[in-house]
Amino acid sequence: MISSTVQNNTILHHNVSRRSLLAAGFGLTGAAFAPSATAAAAGITHDLTLTSRILEVKGKAAKVFGIVDAAGRSGVNTVSDGTFSARVTNALTVDSLIHWHGLTPPLAMDGVPMLSGPPLKPGESKVYEFATRDTGTHWMHSHVGLQEQQMLAAPLIIRETDTPLFDEQEHVVMLHDFTFRDPQDILAELQKGGGGHAAHSGHDMSKMDMTKMDMSNMQMDGMAMVNDITFDALLANDRSLDDPEVVQAEKSGRVRLRVINGSAASNMWIDLGTLTGELIAVDGKTITALKGQRFPLAIAQRADIRLQLPQGPGTWPILFRAEGTAQRSGIILRSGDGAVAKISDQGEMQPALDLALESRLKSLTIFPEIAVSRTEMVMLTGGGADYQWG
């Protein structure tokens, strides 16, 4: 059976399957901590709850975290009025706190535990309110322990106007790298020198005789050390490619993708396939448009890409490929009744990201030249086999 829902000005078509039954059966654990009054009645623009939820990944149920609004939608999609106002309630059983990535609030509102303030204990709420003119594609996430790795993150979209400035359909895509394992166990293995194999349970290579291995054909351009963790799946809006999100678009329509790399440890390549897109904003800042079919997206980075769809009906996969691996996730853009073909989550090995794109970025905002008034020395330490950083 096919159902349709409207989210972020986009019609989403998805199969009603075990995935939706799991979500309905487990519900939101945050319900017990729901505030007694609505956010609007209290003068709070956004009412957000830190909660746990159930996903289905490759046919298996997985418990992860999430940030939802009063209607159960992930994150915030709003219009700028010069002030950001939100109440955050911790419905988890552990301490947590949320950082507003891309915004520049006062330190006390920044959401970094023990720097901007103590974390929220289970059941506690805090109101955040500060002036901001920051618009664009941003995100929110936990800075407590390894909670971000457990998907305690969500989009934070602040638009300039209530309706798009152009005749286009907007769609937000949140990317994650996913493992069924406990991130604490993976970190413990990394700190024991298990880099590169930390997500392969039961594969202890510490006692292997490496002196007898033929490494003459191994890549030595840094690719061998790009990834320290092998993930079970890459997700785009909580879905892997065995059950991708299908975004219905108008025939010959224009689509603006707001892509957020919320991965814990995976830089990505955005692969537009046969489409040519215009990169129009990076990290929430508008730029002189750059055309292309592939764009790099580092961890925590955001990219706004405008696409002009051909005459339909048809389908156009938009793939997100992790550097240094063959893994990929994606969404499907569809116009009319275009048939959706199955796509493997394994593709071609991807190269490492570089800074070529950054050298071409030009802001549309003209910034005044300001003389340096303060200099600080920062020592970056660590990076050894014990995975200790400072």
239 pLDDT above the threshold of 60? yes
> Domain locations in the chain?
2-161, 164-202+223-390
Q: Which of the four pLDDT bands, split at 50, 70 and 90, describes residue 162?
A: confident
Q: Summarize pLDDT for 80-94 with one digit per residue, the tens.
A: 989 999 999 999 999
Position 366 scores a pLDDT of 87
Fill in the DSSP letter of residue 79: E
Q: Do domains 2-161 and 164-202+223-390 have the same CATH topology?
A: yes
- What's residue 44's pLDDT? 55
Identity at 77, one-letter amino acid code? N
Residue partners of 309: CB distance under 8 A and separation at least 6:
249, 250, 251, 252, 253, 254, 255, 275, 316, 333, 335
Q: How far is CA 136 from CA 152, 171, 300, in A?
A: 21, 13, 14
Confidence of residue 216 (pLDDT cuts 50, 70, 90): very low
Place 226 in a pLDDT band, splitting at 50, 70 and 90: confident
Closest by CA to 130, choosing from 83, 88, 97, 81, is 83
> Using one digit for the tens of pLDDT, what is the confidence trace for 121-133?
999 999 999 999 9
- 269-304: pLDDT as tens digits: 999 999 999 999 999 999 999 999 999 999 999 999
Quote the percentage of the chain above a pLDDT of 90.
68
Structural class in CATH, domain 164-202+223-390: mainly beta
Which CATH fold topology does 2-161 show?
Answer: Immunoglobulin-like (2.60.40)
Vertex 208: Cα angle to 203 and 209 (nearest 5): 160
87 touches 116 (CB < 8 A): no
Q: What is the rounded CA–CA span in Å between residue 358 and residue 282?
A: 10
Which of the two residues, 268 and 9, has the higher pLDDT score?
Answer: 268
The confidence score (pLDDT) of residue 2 equals 30
Q: What does the pLDDT read at residue 161?
A: 85
Q: pLDDT per residue over 314-326, tens digit each?
A: 999 999 999 999 9
325 in helix, strand or coil? coil
